[in-house]
Structure 1
Amino acid sequence: MGQHLQRNCQGIVYGIAFVFYTLALIHPLRELAEIARDGLKRYDPV
C-alpha cells in the first residue's frame, strides 16, 4: 500500500513538473510567434 501510494505521488509530481515545464516553454514560444508575425506584417508588400 505504502509503495503504491509513493508511486502515485511520484507520478503526480512528475505530471505537475511536466505541466510547469511545458508552460515555461510555451510562453517564450508564443512571444516569438507574435514577434515573427509582426515582422512578417511589417515586410508585407500590401
Structure 2
Amino acid sequence: MRVPKALGDFLVLQALCKTGGTAIAVSDAQCGEMMKLLAGRTGIFAAPEDT
C-alpha cells in the first residue's frame, strides 16, 4: 500500500481496524524473498512502495 505522507500511517491503521485486517512487520530481505516467490509461482511482479 502506498503511503504518500506521514499522515498515511493513521489512514492505514484506520483501514485495518475497519476491515478487521492484519499487518505484520518484515525485513527487507524477507520482502525480497517473497517477491521472488510470488513472481515465480504466479508471474506477478509486485513492488514494495516507498513511503
Which interval holds the TM-score relative to the shorter structure?
0.3 to 0.5
Bigger Rg over Cα = 1
* TM-score, normalization by structure 1: 0.35
